[in-house]
Amino acid sequence: MKIFVSVDMEGVSGLTDPEEMRAGGRGYERGCELMTGDANAAIRAAFDASAAEVVVADAHGGGRNLRADLIDPRCTLVRGPYKPMRMAEGLDASFDAAVYVGYHARAGTARGVLNHTWMGREIHNVHLNGRIAGEILLMAAYAGTLGVPVALVTGDAAACAEAREVLGDVPAVAVKTGSDRYAAALVPPARAQQMIYEAGRDALSEVANWRTCEVDPPYTLRVEWNATAIAQSCAVIPGVELVGPRTTEFTTDDYTQIVGLLGVCATIAGDVGCTGRHYG
């Protein structure tokens, strides 16, 4: 069995402060350790469920957050910025299942801890084929185009609810429950990581509980940006159409282009519009 683990940071146990997500921010180094702890719980679960290979993608920001010196040595770690498939770098059709650790709810979700979609402040909303989409749908759909089901999602309670909205009765572990965007009732990390391990071991041992996200082509990605300057800059990319003062749209039959375009547009948006706090 071959398992892909994508690890974001906002849904990691113990974290609620935007500073903990940002290199150089207060608590960031400890945040990286907690992120690695949640990842290791999922990795250990995969191997104990008889996985022969586990590939782990650092899916937060620039992809330099998971502690390479603390990660389970049995896995392969994919890290670094500007990965072509960003949060899904390393995933292909050879994998049996995907696991999403530390994921969060889409932008605008009530009580969603650190809720956003792809970027902290530059994006208001994303729609995929007319359906409002967060990172769970975007990444699960990419896995689905490869024929790879999702076996487990971990994050805050709002992220787990979103995962079930997208994937049906998929196994999910809520490690915190938001009272607002930056505040939550936490399951202490040691217990949360044990929960991730136990749920992951059980989920990866029961193929019947895996869920595949199926989105039919052609794929249309609509992004509502927070500024006209970002939308206009992204519309320079061939195939991207400006459909409103700050809204772009792109249609393709190749879902890898959807993921790749999000990465390129995020780079442009960061240069054009990011002048303050990442989640402010």
pLDDT in tens, 208-218: 999 999 999 99
Distance CA 260, CA 230 (A): 17
Question: Which domains, and CATH codes, for the chain?
Answer: 2-209 (3.40.50.10780), 219-273 (no CATH)
- How many Cβ atoms are within 10 Å of 24's Cβ, its own excluded? 7
Exposure string over 46-76, b if 16+ CB within 10 A, otherwise e:
bbebebebbbbbbbbbebebbbeeebbeebe
Beta strands 53-58 and 123-128 are unpaired
Residue range 39-49, pLDDT digits in tens: 999 999 999 99
pLDDT of residue 279: 40
Which residues carry a binding-site annotation for Zn(2+)? 8, 10, 60, 104, 135
- 113-163 pLDDT, tens digit per residue, is 999 999 989 999 999 999 999 999 999 999 999 999 999 999 999 999 999
pLDDT tens digits, 60-100: 999 999 999 999 999 999 999 999 999 999 999 999 999 99
124 flagged as catalytic: no
CA dist., res. 43 & res. 76, Å (int): 10
Task: Taking the CA atoms of 225, 130, 213 and 171 in sequence, report the sign of the dihedral they define.
Answer: positive
The pLDDT tens digits for 206-265 are 999 999 999 999 999 999 999 999 999 999 999 999 999 999 999 999 999 999 999 999
Respond yes or no on whether the N-terminal peptide bond of residue 171 is cis (omega within 30° of 0).
Answer: no
**Which residues are 55's β-sheet partners?**
4, 76
Catalytic residue among 116, 124, 127, 278: 116
Binding residues: 8, 10, 60, 104, 135
